[in-house]
């Protein structure tokens, strides 16, 4: 070790750069024996032993473990510094802008260097919990909202998939130059280690298999061009994530109104795409997001959790259980508002050449679906809605939901 330090000294003199000995420290990784007194010296100054240190921006410690707490703290600090007062839903920035800020600045800072460290499932879990909690907070959605909805509405890649992407990119950069030490290590490890082993290259093999990409050896033999690889990797990870999301959507009846065909990574749901940058529109989008994810508290939802003390019947009209269809399409209390909006919706549908718009608007189920997510196949029947059409219906439905929400709040307050 002292010999290596001497070489470093010689190099620094030859190439005329200075190494500050007081800023250097030494850590023992996975020490088998207690600390022994050593005299590692650089430029005549003794280098102290430490339990942790930062090297090239990556935190290293004696146990070679990821400091998840610091990572989460860094992510939180970055998110607050960029979003500030508008962090909690209601105020300021549009959700689509927040989603872009999250993916462009917060995630890369938080995950910096994680692909080269041996992270555990518990580390991934902690980072995922932080991401989900923050994204719900940003959208002002309740904690009980399904995780898949919090991610998919903003079109954000789960932390796990993002780390997998970074790890595979690291492998791609290793195999670029066959003259490097890293390349030789990769060649040796691929030959020596089994795919089931706990090693970096075995993990690479598993990831390539999961995302249906070429095998590690195929990539080693003929590495694709940078652009080709980037496109292939992004598309494979995105498609895999969307397929997982679709499976999760199927299991959750509360998310049945969301059109899973329109799910996309990097592109928020149209609920947020056409959001105007002012407070009232933020509030409208927020109320609609709650209804869409099934977390807007209606009498039927309350009854599910307290079946003996709460009756699911609508407290305003007392005719039938207050579910989403009743609240949006049936409750007689909001008949006047509904009729007005139905006429506007009918006009809008006719303008964009829909077949049988009257039937769509008059049927309670399809009307609810149109109001919550107009792109769903059940109300399109082969029709491909244009961007303009989606935008017009979106603005109309957001306004309608806001009106009936206010009406309901007023009536409930009167009754209590």
Interacting residues with Zn ion (CB under 5 A): 314, 316-317, 331
Residue 203 or 334: which CB sits closer to Zn ion? 334
Q: Residue 15 carries which DSSP code?
A: T
Shortest Å distance, C-beta 114 to Zn ion: 51
Residue 322 or 389: which CB sits closer to Zn ion? 322
Shortest Å distance, C-beta 328 to Zn ion: 11
Written as six digits, the tokens of 263 are 């799910």
Shortest Å distance, C-beta 364 to Zn ion: 12
Give CA–CA dist 136/144, Å, rounded.
9
Shortest Å distance, C-beta 258 to Zn ion: 24
Residue 164 or 330: which CB sits closer to Zn ion? 330
Shortest Å distance, C-beta 368 to Zn ion: 14
Shortest Å distance, C-beta 414 to Zn ion: 14
Reduce the DSSP state of residue 253 to 3 states and report it.
helix
Reduce the DSSP state of residue 307 to 3 states and report it.
coil
Written as six digits, the tokens of 414 are 């009167």
Residue 278 or 340: which CB sits closer to Zn ion? 340
Is there a contact between 193 and 205 (Cβ–Cβ < 8 Å)?
Answer: no
Residue 154 or 329: which CB sits closer to Zn ion? 329
Residue 42 or 314: which CB sits closer to Zn ion? 314
Shortest Å distance, C-beta 313 to Zn ion: 8
- Within 10 A of 308 (CB to CB), how many other CB atoms are there? 6
Residue 21 or 321: which CB sits closer to Zn ion? 321
- What separation in angstroms does the CA of 401 have from each of 102, 292, 294, 398, 411? 28, 11, 14, 5, 15
Contacts of 214 (CB under 8 A, 6+ apart): 208
Q: What angle do CA 83, 86, 92 make, to 5 degrees?
A: 110
Shortest Å distance, C-beta 141 to Zn ion: 24
Backbone angles phi, psi at 214, to 5 degrees: -60, 155
Residue 342 or 352: which CB sits closer to Zn ion? 342
Shortest Å distance, C-beta 332 to Zn ion: 7
Residue facing Zn ion at closest CB distance: 314
Reduce the DSSP state of residue 311 to 3 states and report it.
coil
Contacts 24+ apart (CB under 8 A), 230-235: 233/165, 233/168, 233/169, 233/172, 234/165
Residue 106 or 316: which CB sits closer to Zn ion? 316
Shortest Å distance, C-beta 316 to Zn ion: 5
Residue 260 or 315: which CB sits closer to Zn ion? 315
Shortest Å distance, C-beta 300 to Zn ion: 11
What residues are paired with 50 via a beta bridge? 27
Give CA–CA dist 371/311, Å, rounded.
26
Residue 148 or 323: which CB sits closer to Zn ion? 323
Is there a contact between 165 and 210 (Cβ–Cβ < 8 Å)?
Answer: no
Where b means 16+ CB within 10 Å and e means fewer, 127-140 reads beebbbebbbebbb
Reduce the DSSP state of residue 50 to 3 states and report it.
strand
Element (H, E) at 293: none
Element (H, E) at 155: none
Give CA–CA dist 148/146, Å, rounded.
6
């Amino acid at each position: 070790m002292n010999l290596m330090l001497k070489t470093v000294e010689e190099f620094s003199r030859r190439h005329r750069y200075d190494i500050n000995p007081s800023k250097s420290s030494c850590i023992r990784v996975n020490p088998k024996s207690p600390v022994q007194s050593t005299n590692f010296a650089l430029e005549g100054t003794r280098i102290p032993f430490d339990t942790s240190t930062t090297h090239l921006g990556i935190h290293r410690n004696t146990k070679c473990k990821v400091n998840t707490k610091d990572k989460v703290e860094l992510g939180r600090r970055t998110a607050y510094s960029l979003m500030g007062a508008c962090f909690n839903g209601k105020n300021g920035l549009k959700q689509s802008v927040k989603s872009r800020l999250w993916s462009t600045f917060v995630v890369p800072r938080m995950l910096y260097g994680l692909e080269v460290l041996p992270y555990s499932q518990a580390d991934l879990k902690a980072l995922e919990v932080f991401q989900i909690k923050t994204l719900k907070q940003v959208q002002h959605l309740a904690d009980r909202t399904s995780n898949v909805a919090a991610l998919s509405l903003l079109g954000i890649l789960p932390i796990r998939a993002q780390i997998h992407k970074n790890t595979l990119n690291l492998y791609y950069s290793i195999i670029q130059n066959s003259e490097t030490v890293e390349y030789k290590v990769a060649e040796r490890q691929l030959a020596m280690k089994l795919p089931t082993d706990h090693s970096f290259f075995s993990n690479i093999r598993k990831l390539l298999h999961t995302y249906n990409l070429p095998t590690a050896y195929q990539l080693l033999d003929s590495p694709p061009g940078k652009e080709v690889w980037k496109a292939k990797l992004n598309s494979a990870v995105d498609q895999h994530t969307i397929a997982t999301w679709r499976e999760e959507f199927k299991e959750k009846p509360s998310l049945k109104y969301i059109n899973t065909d329109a799910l996309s990574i990097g592109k928020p749901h149209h609920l947020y795409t056409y959001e105007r940058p002012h407070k009232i529109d933020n509030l409208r989008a927020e109320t609609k997001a709650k209804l869409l994810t099934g977390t807007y508290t209606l009498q039927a939802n309350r009854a599910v959790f307290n079946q003996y003390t709460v009756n699911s019947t609508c407290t305003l009209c007392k005719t039938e259980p207050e579910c989403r269809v009743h609240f949006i399409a049936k409750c007689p209390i909001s008949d006047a508002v509904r009729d007005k909006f139905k006429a506007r919706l009918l006009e809008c549908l006719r303008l964009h050449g829909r077949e049988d718009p009257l039937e769509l608007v008059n049927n309670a189920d399809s009307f609810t679906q149109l109001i919550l997510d107009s792109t769903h196949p059940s109300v399109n029947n082969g029709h491909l809605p244009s961007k303009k059409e989606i935008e017009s219906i979106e603005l109309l439905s957001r306004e309608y939901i806001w009106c009936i929400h206010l009406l309901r709040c007023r009536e409930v307050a009167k009754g209590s």
